[in-house]
Chain A
Amino acid sequence: MNLDVIISYIPLYIEAFFLTIRIGWLGILFALAIGLVVAFIMHFKIPFLSGIALVYIELFRNTPLLVQLFFIYFGLPKVGLSISAETCGFVGLGLLGGSYMAEVFRSGLESVPNSQTESALALGLSRKQLFLSVILPQAISQSVPGILANVIFLLKETSVFSAISLMDLMFTAKDLIGLYYDTKEALFLLVIFYIIMLLPVSVIGSFIEKKARFRTLGV
């Protein structure tokens, strides 16, 4: 491997790294927002909307992100809905992630035992107080390991952004390989930058998961 080549590539990768992170985290925040709303709709069995929520979850969980992005980026403009590649990236990631986050939040809400509801009602708490002070905090802390697993999954999924010509890490690597044939160097940096992006999240994730498992033993 040629060190000079690696050094000369680094600035390009740093730029791509920040683009990937920016769109990735925007998409993840979007996914969390969608997930919470959809989970509420399904938890409270709001008529009509919960039907839509179910269709949404099934559609997006059972199709690949790449296909979703192609449809949004290349398909929708043909019926008059054009969006930029960046917007398409985070919207696509948000829609995909929302369907996964919704399932996490929903099972978090369901994991709070019914007896918690009863003892809160017996204390005279209103339905709203019950939900906000008793159910929601427990549901969210139950959801943390699932959320982190999905964050890792979604950050990995950003690698398909290159297909809609976003200049992310993957795109940069592919471009450099195509232009200069320094395959080893380009791939090496690709791996390094994905490790920088994902290893910390993964380590934190495993740590919290272990802690969460320990906690649930003694409630």
Chain B
Amino acid sequence: MGFEVLLKGNNMIRLLTGLAVSLKISFISVAISIVLGVILGILMAFKNPVITVITRVYLEIVRIMPQMVLLFIVYFGTTKALGINLEAETAAVIVFSFWGTAEMADLVRGALLSIPVIQYESSISLGLNRFQTYRYVIVPQIIRRMIPLSINLITRMIKTTSLVMMIGIVEVLKVGQQIIEANRKASPTAAFGIFLVIFLLYFMACWPISMLSRYLEKKWEN
């Protein structure tokens, strides 16, 4: 059924290397998204009208534009419009960070606003100063809300990186296709085995992270 191809030469290692490319892009993008998202989220919580309008438009773009369209715009569009020749991987990181930052910012804003006013009031009436209120009462609550959701963002990022093959990055799917092509004669059914294995590889990459996110969410639920 096409599994034998995997045992030939270093095919399995090549697939895993392909997966590593996807994972690398995801983790870099998540790291950037968290940093930028937290900053933007805090800015959004101030409810400045100018920031509100700009971020609304930004979030709406991210909400309705498929990541694939964004990838095309950044990868093909910049070359044409700005004359910059962007590396495909850089384009991917830009797009995923653009998307991830919006998601994180919205989560941070939501978490900030979800802390009931009474929490601030009771901290202050206990004699805590502004800094202490944030340090001991507000921020710990926000972090508990944020962490499971940010971990969840990692899995979505990993899944979405499968799209980067469409702009020519050699990741796991592309490697899979190459192996299938190379073994067309010897193993005509390779497509079944290879794509099933890639399916399971993605599952093994994402599932533990999903479980962790769910576990933390349950644990910190109040």
Chain A in direct contact with chain B (Cβ < 8 angstroms) = yes
One of B83-91, B141-149, B201-209 at the interface: B201-209
Partner of B69, one of A77, A194, A202: A194
B191 at the interface (CB under 8 A from A): yes
Complex Cα distance A67/B165, Å?
A: 11
Known: A66-B162, A79-B189, A79-B192. A152 touches B72 (CB 8 A): no
A75 to chain B: which residues have CB within 8 Å?
A: 191-196
Q: Tell me if A183 counts as interface (CB < 8 A to partner B).
A: yes
Q: Give the bracket for the number of chain B residues in contact with chain A.
A: 35 or more
Contacts of B63 in A (CB 8 A): 152, 202
The answer to whether B199 and A79 have CB atoms under 8 Å apart is: no
Q: How many A-B residue pairs have CB under 8 A?
A: 116
Contact with B along A182-197 (1 / 0, CB 8 A): 0110010011001100
Q: Give Cα A120 to B103, complex, Å.
A: 41
Contacting pair B159 A63 (CB below 8 A)? yes
Query: A64-B162, A70-B198 are contacts. A152–B64 as well, Cβ < 8 Å?
Result: yes
Q: Is A198 engaged at the interface, CB distance under 8 Å to the other chain?
A: yes
User: Is A78 interfacial (CB 8 A cutoff)?
Assistant: yes
CA–CA, A194 and B79, complex, Å:
22
Chain B binding surface SS class:
helix
- Total A residues in contact with B, Cβ cutoff 8 Å: 39
Contact flag A70-B173 (CB < 8 Å), given A62-B203, A187-B76: yes
Nearest chain B CB to A27 CB, angstrom units: 14
Q: Cβ of A158: which chain B residues have Cβ within 8 Å of it?
A: 66
Q: Is A32 an interface residue (CB 8 A)?
A: no
Which residue in chain A gives the minimum CB-CB distance to B191?
Answer: A74
B198 touches A59 (CB 8 A): no
Shortest CB distance A137–B (Å): 27
Closest-CB distance, B110 to chain A (whole angstroms): 12
Contacts A64-B159, A64-B160 hold; do A194 and B65 have CB atoms under 8 A apart?
A: yes
Contact A76 B192, beta carbon cutoff 8 Å: yes
- If A64-B159, A156-B67 are given as contacts, then 14 extra A-B residue pairs at C-beta distance below 8 Å, sorted by A number, are A61-B210, A62-B202, A66-B163, A75-B191, A78-B1, A78-B2, A78-B188, A78-B190, A152-B63, A152-B64, A183-B77, A184-B81, A187-B77, A191-B69
